[in-house]
Amino acid sequence: MADTNELVVVTAHWLADGAPVYLTAAGTWSRALQEAEVFLVEKGEAEASLRGKTEQPIVADPYTFKIEKRDGFIDALSARERIRSTGPTVRVRRPD
């Protein structure tokens, strides 16, 4: 069972291009993980669920993932979300 004191952010896919976006304190979506609002697990999951119902034309599949916050910096705890937030670690276009 999740530790209710763990910190999470809410993320989703931007419907238009599938890019990862993060829910901000202003209730908007940002492509920058560092602009995400940090929640406790229960509140985060509730927020994700709400956005999933109310923002279908904007985002797809909101969910939460665990983070750590150190000196104001948000760090995803999983390699998956870290890569997702920073982009592929390989060059995406083959140089000509």
Size of the site for another protein (CB under 8 A): 28
Asked if 15 touches another protein (CB under 8 A), the answer is yes
Give 35-76 as a DSSP string. Answer: GPPPEEHHHHHHHHHHHHHH-TTTEEEEEEEEEEEETTEEEE
Considering only 1, 3, 4, 17, the residue that binds another protein (CB under 8 A) is 17
91 binds another protein per the rule CB under 8 A: yes
Question: CA 31, 33, 40, 4 torsion: positive or negative?
Answer: positive
Which residues here bind another protein, judged by CB under 8 A? 13, 15-20, 52, 56-57, 60-61, 77-80, 83-84, 87-96
